[in-house]
Amino acid sequence: MSEGGMLAIDGSRETGQDVRTQNMMAAVSIANIVKSSLGPVGLDKMLVDNVGDVTITNDGATILKLLDVEHPAGKVLCELADLQDQEVGDGTTSVVILAAELLKRGNELVKQRIHPTSIISGYRLALKEAVRYIKKTLTIPMSKLERSNLVMAAKTSMNSKIIGPESDHFAEIAVSAMQNVRTERPDGSVRYPLKAVNIIKAHGRSSRESVLVDGYAINCTRAAQGMPTSISNAKIALLDFNLARHKLKLGVQVLVKDPRELEALQQRELDITKEKIQTILKSGANVILCSKGIDDVCLKYFVEAGAIAVRRVPKDDLRRIAKATGGELVLTMADADGADEEFDPSWLGSAGEVSEERLGDGEIIYIKECVKTAAQTVVLRGANEYFLDEVERSLHDSLCIIKRALETNTLVAGGGAVETALSVHLEDYASTLGTREQLAIVEFAQALLVIPRTLATNAAQDATELVARLRAKHAVSQQDPAQGEGMQYSGLDLVAGKVVNCFEYGIVEPAISKVKSLRFATEAAVTILRIDDSIKLNPREEPQ
């Protein structure tokens, strides 16, 4: 409410319960938007921007990124989804839903005259205990991750997406790609760089005809039609300079006295590049990839040598090709004294075959059978652009999941299993505490159930009953581990509407993804709960 005369601000100010309720509502309505996209039976959103471009997606982060959210608390939630997307890559929808639920319940507690700081510390306590419990009991012990487990994790992530019906096919692609890009750092740590997997989209055919190419593919064409379309035993030169008429740097002027020297100068301009190209070709290169331009004037040398030259290859692609083929990105050919130009054959990368192939309406250059598998390419096919964009997003999420799983080696059961188990456990835990945090922890436990409940609701199942059954299973497993063997992995099978052992059923997620999403959701809820005053200044009027 505007305080008007009391406080001289040019704007409106809201305090106390009002602002808390508003923030809560903003968060809940954001969560409501993405809610229906959660889970294997979640649906997609179609977003039309102000130009009229269409995006069809199921990915929480993408939806929220495209929405124009005005409310500050709503913005916090959008950023939360974005954070989860960057840190984990998947689970963006669930993190938003959870944060909104925590806020809602926190707000109720405040109404019961519990100070927000107590709630906050209760939430923090609950989070700590939850993370400890996940690590202790809920992770699926796995000394070495089997490939089948990875496929399961990938499929779990894909199931909710547009490629759900084809998840078998795509899960294999995603897992192979990520396993192939495994790189060991000098310090012994192992990394799975996501960027090493290149995704190329070409409309046409069907999504089932999407393939993983062993090697790298770039969306470019040969510079001249006279070049061969395929070269085996390729020696690849990766250049990061212009192959055009040599040009002096800007501002450098050449003054000649004798007009005839002008002619010589021009001749030289052409010859410098010619010599460069000949040095490159002499080193044995038969594929030349250049990040800058190649002048038409120079193309004939390549055509005559029977080499493939490609111009304007994106630099990022070149770097990855360098990694995969063992070559080196060459910035300049000048040697140390700068006198001579030479091209060291050791700079060349090698690959079994480089070929240009037709794909849909265009051409693509494939670099196959590289020395290393450090670069992989997935070629996606599908009905139209919107479809392909969504497939790419879905595949990206799955790749992230596999990456996390490979890096951390621990999995947890999906399908709402972890949330329910934590909920049951935290309620018990709360009763061991005699402080006012107890109430907050109970609410935290209740809030976690929003995930299985939303999953069930989206599947048009009886949420109340299913969640009750699920809780019962987890309660047994926690009270009497002997009797409840394997019951800690109980989760929902949403198509049949049953409670199943999710681990056996193949619904798994990396533990790190769950832990992080709990952390982020709690942090976001805490941030918003702490707010008790909101001042919105009127936009300053433009001076006339």
Partner 1 sequence: MMGGPGGQVFVLNQTQKRESGRKTQLANVQAARAVSDIVRTTLGPNSALKMLIDSLGGIVLTNDGHAILRELDVSHPAAKSMLELARSQDEEAGDGSTSVIVLSGEMLTVAEPFLRAERLHPTQIVQAYYRAMEEALAVCERIARPLDVHDRDSMFKIVDASVGTKYVHRWGDLIVNMALDAVMKITVEGKASAKEVDIKRYARIEKIPGGELSDCTVMDGVMLNKDVTHSKMKRRIENPRILLLDCSLEYKKGESQTSVELTNDTDWDVLLKLEEEHVERLCADIISHKPDLVLCEKGVSDLAQHYLQKAGITALRRLRKTDNNRVARATGATIVSRTEEIQETDIGTGCGLFEVRKIGDEYFSFIEKCKDPKACTLLLRGGSKDVLNEVERNIQDAMQVAKNIVLEPKVLPGGGATEMAIAQALSEKSKTIEGVQQWPYKAVGIAFEVIPRTLLENCGVDVVRRLTELRAMHAQGGNERMGVNGETGVLVSMDELNIWEPFSVKTQIVKTSIEAAAMLLRVDDVVSGSKKN
By CB under 8 A, how many residues form the interface with partner 1? 93
> Per this entry, what is the length of the chain?
544
Are β-strands 197-203 and 308-310 bridged in parallel, bridged antiparallel, or unpaired? unpaired
The question of whether 397 is a catalytic residue gets the answer yes
**90, 214, 317, 397: the active-site residue:** 397
56 forms part of the interface with partner 1 (CB under 8 A): yes
384 forms part of the interface with partner 1 (CB under 8 A): yes
Binding mask 462-501 for partner 1 (x = CB under 8 A): ---------------------------------x------
Q: Which amino acid is at 176?
A: S
Which of 389, 414, 401, 396 lies closest to 508 in space, CA to CA? 414
30 forms part of the interface with partner 1 (CB under 8 A): yes
Looking at the Cβ atoms of 250 and 336, the one nearer to partner 1 is 250
Looking at the Cβ atoms of 394 and 410, the one nearer to partner 1 is 394
Min separation Cβ 52 and partner 1, Å? 7
Q: Is 253 helix (H, G, I), strand (E, B) or coil?
A: coil
374 forms part of the interface with partner 1 (CB under 8 A): no
Tokens linked to 168 = 């078998």
50 forms part of the interface with partner 1 (CB under 8 A): yes
Min separation Cβ 27 and partner 1, Å? 9
Q: How far apart are CA 162 and CA 158, in angstroms?
A: 8
b/e per residue 294-325 (b: at least 16 CB within 10 A): beeebbebbbebebbbbbebeeebbbbbbbbb
Taking contact as CB under 8 A, which single stretch among the options 109-117, 140-148, 251-259, 316-324 is the one that binds partner 1?
251-259
Residues of span 299-328 touching partner 1 by CB under 8 A: 299-300, 303-304
Min separation Cβ 43 and partner 1, Å? 4
4 forms part of the interface with partner 1 (CB under 8 A): no
- Cβ atoms of residues 426 and 201 within 8 Å: no
Min separation Cβ 445 and partner 1, Å? 26
The question of whether 92 is a catalytic residue gets the answer yes
CA distances from 501 to 155, 178, 282 (A): 16, 27, 64
59 forms part of the interface with partner 1 (CB under 8 A): no
The question of whether 420 is a catalytic residue gets the answer no
Of all helices (H) and strands (E), which one includes residue 97? helix 92-111
b/e per residue 54-68 (b: at least 16 CB within 10 A): ebbbbbbbbbbbeee
**55, 57, 59, 139: the active-site residue:** 59
Which of 156, 167, 171, 152 lies closest to 415 in space, CA to CA? 156
Among 9, 13, 47, 137, binds partner 1 (CB under 8 A): 47
Tokens linked to 513 = 């993804």
Q: Could you list the active site residues? A: 59, 92-93, 397
